């Protein structure tokens, strides 16, 4: 490969903040296409963000994990400054994901006592949030973990110079396109599909399981109250529904509102 060809390739970096590095693994899992894929990029950094040192400018930075510490935030801001495009990959980076389950429900101090037995915030943690809360995010690829196909298509779009296409409609759409029986209608299961971002091809309902919401709610479209209402009608307790909603979506305002109300009923 000649020098110029190499220079034309998009320079990319993949970085982890606080998360399980599951999304990086997902990208590495694209085995068959991986080598071909990687050869089209000039990879400047593919590592835990903690060891990020290179000061090269990037065309695209992929960031996974939520912002949970001062250190995360500093790294993130640095990455943003050095990159033309910043793409949040995985729910943690998109909206805080599982880590945000208890946000605004219990204080950090309470959680420190629960987990470490001390009230002091020894790790300088704060409520985990998506990277979009702190810096401008150009695109978001949701999922916990992200979907291989979707990630691949997003990378192809980026290589071609186009914006990635990420669904902004709910899982129900994919359910219907596949002709899967609806588990709410047929079996009264507590499916979150109606408010969750599609892209998984309705994997769970396809197996007869209710959607747990692992791809996060659709931003700006989530009717959490309706979900509460629909599941209540099918006999589920508020507390159960709200915990279920919070599991992957603790940072969503309309879901937090439900949470606050429930807390005020005196539940722990």
Find all residues with CB under 8 Å of 253, minimum gap 6, and list them. Answer: none
Dihedral sign computed on CA atoms, order 124, 127, 129, 133: negative
CA distance 55 to 48: 15
Q: Which CB sits closer to another protein, 109 or 177?
A: 177
Q: Which of another protein, ligand SF4, none sits in contact with 36, Cβ below 5 to 8 A by type?
A: another protein
Of 85-104, binders to another protein (CB under 8 A) are none
The region that residue 20 occupies, defined by phi over 0 for left and psi between -120 and 50 for alpha, beta otherwise, is alpha
DSSP letter assigned to residue 7: H
Of 231-250, binders to another protein (CB under 8 A) are 233
Q: What is the CA radius of gyration of the chain?
A: 20
Q: How many residues of this chain bind ligand SF4 (CB under 6 A)?
A: 12
CB of 218 to another protein, least distance (A): 8
Q: Which of another protein, ligand SF4, none sits in contact with 76, Cβ below 5 to 8 A by type?
A: none
Find all residues with CB under 8 Å of 191, minimum gap 6, and list them. Answer: 182, 183, 184, 205, 210, 211
Contact criterion met (CB below 8 Å) for 61 and 29? no
Of 168-207, binders to ligand SF4 (CB under 6 A) are 171-172, 175, 182-184, 191, 193-194, 202, 205
CB of 225 to ligand SF4, least distance (A): 12
Applying CB under 8 A, does 221 fall inside the site for another protein?
A: yes
- Over the window 171 to 210, marking each residue x when it contacts another protein by CB under 8 A and - when it does not, the resulting string is -xx-xxxxx-xx-xxxx---x-xxx---------------
- Backbone dihedral angles phi then psi of residue 9, each to the nearest 5 degrees: -70, 145
Q: Which of another protein, ligand SF4, none sits in contact with 177, Cβ below 5 to 8 A by type?
A: another protein
Q: How many residues of this chain bind another protein (CB under 8 A)?
A: 43
CB of 167 to another protein, least distance (A): 9
CA distance 149 to 164: 12
Q: Which of ligand SF4, another protein, none sits in contact with 34, Cβ below 5 to 8 A by type?
A: none
CA distance 223 to 258: 11
User: In residues, how long is the chain?
Assistant: 268
- Of 213, 169, 214, 167, whose CA–CA distance to 191 is shortest? 213
Give the alpha-carbon dihedral of 99, 104, 108, 111, to 10 degrees. -70
Applying CB under 6 A, does 228 fall inside the site for ligand SF4?
A: no
Q: Which CB sits closer to ligand SF4, 73 or 166?
A: 166
- Binding residues (CB under 8 A) for another protein: these are 33, 36-37, 40, 152-153, 156-157, 159-163, 165, 168-170, 172-173, 175-179, 181-182, 184-187, 191, 193-195, 220-221, 223, 225-227, 229-230, 233
- Binding residues (CB under 6 A) for ligand SF4: these are 171-172, 175, 182-184, 191, 193-194, 202, 205, 211
């Amino acid at each position: 490969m000649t020098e110029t060809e190499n220079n034309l390739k998009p320079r990319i970096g993949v970085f982890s903040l606080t998360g399980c590095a599951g999304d990086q693994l997902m990208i590495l899992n694209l085995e068959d296409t991986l080598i071909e894929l990687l050869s089209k990029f000039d990879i400047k950094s593919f590592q835990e963000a903690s060891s990020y040192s290179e000061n090269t400018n990037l065309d695209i930075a992929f960031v996974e994990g939520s912002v949970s510490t001062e250190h995360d935030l500093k790294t993130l801001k640095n990455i943003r400054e050095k990159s033309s495009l910043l793409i949040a990959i995985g729910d943690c980076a998109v909206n805080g994901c599982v880590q945000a389950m208890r946000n605004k429900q219990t204080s950090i101090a309470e959680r420190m006592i629960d987990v470490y037995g001390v009230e002091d915030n020894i790790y300088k943690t704060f409520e985990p949030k998506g990277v979009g809360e702190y810096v401008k995010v150009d695109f978001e690829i949701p999922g916990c973990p992200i979907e291989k196909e979707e990630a691949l298509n997003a990378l192809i779009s980026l290589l071609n110079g186009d914006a990635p296409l990420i669904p902004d409609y709910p899982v129900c759409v994919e359910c219907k396109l596949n002709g899967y029986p609806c588990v709410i209608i047929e079996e009264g299961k507590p499916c979150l599909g109606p408010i969750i971002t599609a892209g998984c091809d309705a994997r769970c309902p396809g197996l007869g399981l209710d959607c747990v919401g692992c791809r996060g709610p659709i931003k700006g479209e989530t009717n959490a109250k309706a979900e509460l209402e629909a599941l209540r009608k099918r006999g589920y307790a508020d507390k159960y529904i709200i915990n279920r909603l919070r599991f992957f979506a603790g940072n969503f305002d309309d879901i937090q509102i439900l949470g606050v109300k429930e807390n005020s009923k005196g539940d722990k």
